[in-house]
């Protein structure tokens, strides 16, 4: 039987009924905090989009979307979304959202390529959000301001939860530590990018790593990003490349860092052309989304996704994402979880 890296001597702090009630409370509380803090309007999101429009995200570039033919549209192919980064930007334009305001939605996706473990599922649920910004706000300073606002909403949600369930003590640090991926590489030159994430997150508890996608001084990116949503190649005011990043939270239950959110200032026309050329994806300029951006029909914006199940997992101090959401798991994983007090939904 394949063994998975699961915490030993784990005991859930809430039973199944309490867990379901607490999940509901977290989701209701956090999305209200998020929408009021960032001034976001809720919109309805698609589960799938038409292939060939450029609206779907290709994430790291190798994942294949789940797809199916549409019988009543002459066999046109629909793709289940990977995320809604580009769809949201089009929606900002369609709703004519003014500067300083934005949208959020429940994003549900299927990622059939995932390697299943206690943090990765076939089913992905996020709060996807997007906000219109000005040209002057396309800075790392403004990015940090938005990250702090989101983290404040997380802290408020944690406090509210701990008031209802005293056994769930509030343990998140009071603030987020910011570090650029190049600084992180210099800090831990002997470690791999993932090992660096673990080390810095364990040290501070909550870290936002700026600059994901562009090559570092050693010629390798910290991690890969699709070239057509986050701006990872613009030189920011800190003299580093990149206006995006990942929010990492340390889990004492798992003894590891958990990526809770990926977000960033989105590409403008110049950054899009540069990143498409550098990644060898210039043919995308002819797709629906990319044509609209290059024709100045889409607003400047910042946006990202916040994992719903992962946030619940962290705040409820759970050992497996399957304790939060219902999905499909290998039989050997279910057997191992049953032996370790991990009750998969």
Which residues have a catalytic role annotated? Answer: 57, 111, 126, 246, 259, 262
Q: How far is CA 194 from the centre of its chain?
A: 16
Token couple for 245: 């990043």
Provide the 8-state DSSP code for 241.
B
Token couple for 254: 């798992």
Name the 3-class secondary structure at 166: coil
Token couple for 184: 């992180």
Name the 3-class secondary structure at 318: coil
How far apart CA 269 and CA 249 sit, in angstroms, is: 33
Token couple for 230: 């986050």
In Å, what is the CA distance from 36 to each residue of 22, 52, 71, 99?
21, 35, 42, 15
Bridge partners, residue 70, by sequence = 76
How far apart CA 209 and CA 262 sit, in angstroms, is: 10
How far apart CA 4 and CA 119 sit, in angstroms, is: 11
Name the 3-class secondary structure at 37: helix
How far apart CA 303 and CA 45 sit, in angstroms, is: 15
């Amino acid at each position: 039987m394949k063994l998975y890296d699961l915490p030993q001597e784990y005991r859930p702090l809430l039973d199944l009924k309490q867990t379901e009630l607490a999940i509901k409370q977290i989701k209701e509380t956090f999305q209200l905090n998020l929408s009021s803090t960032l001034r976001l309007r809720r919109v309805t999101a698609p589960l799938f989009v038409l292939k060939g429009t450029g609206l779907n995200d290709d994430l790291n570039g190798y994942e294949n979307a789940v797809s199916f033919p549409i019988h009543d549209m002459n066999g046109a192919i629909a793709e289940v979304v990977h995320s809604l980064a580009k769809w949201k930007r089009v929606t900002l334009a369609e709703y004519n959202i003014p500067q300083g305001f934005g949208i959020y939605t429940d994003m549900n996706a299927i990622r059939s390529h995932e390697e299943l473990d206690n943090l990765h599922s076939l089913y992905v649920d996020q709060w996807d959000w997007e906000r219109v910004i000005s040209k002057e706000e396309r800075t790392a300073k403004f990015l940090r301001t938005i990250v702090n606002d989101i983290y404040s909403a997380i802290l408020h949600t944690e406090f509210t939860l701990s008031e209802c369930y005293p056994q769930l003590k509030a343990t998140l640090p009071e603030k987020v530590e910011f570090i650029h991926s190049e600084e992180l590489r210099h800090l831990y030159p002997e470690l791999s990018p993932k090992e660096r994430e673990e080390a810095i997150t364990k040290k501070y508890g909550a870290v936002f790593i700026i600059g994901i996608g562009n090559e570092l001084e050693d010629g390798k990116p910290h991690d890969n990003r699709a070239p057509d949503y986050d701006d990872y190649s613009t030189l920011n005011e800190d003299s580093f490349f990149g206006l995006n990043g990942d929010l990492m939270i340390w889990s004492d239950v798992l003894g590891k860092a958990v990526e809770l959110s990926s977000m960033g200032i989105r590409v403008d026309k110049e950054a899009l052309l540069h990143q498409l050329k550098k990644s060898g994806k210039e043919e995308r300029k002819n797709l629906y989304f990319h044509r609209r951006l290059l024709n100045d029909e889409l607003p400047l914006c910042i946006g990202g996704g916040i994992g719903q199940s992962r946030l619940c997992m962290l705040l409820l101090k759970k050992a497996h994402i399957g304790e939060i959401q219902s999905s499909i798991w290998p039989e050997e994983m279910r057997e191992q979880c049953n032996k370790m007090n991990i009750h998969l939904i």
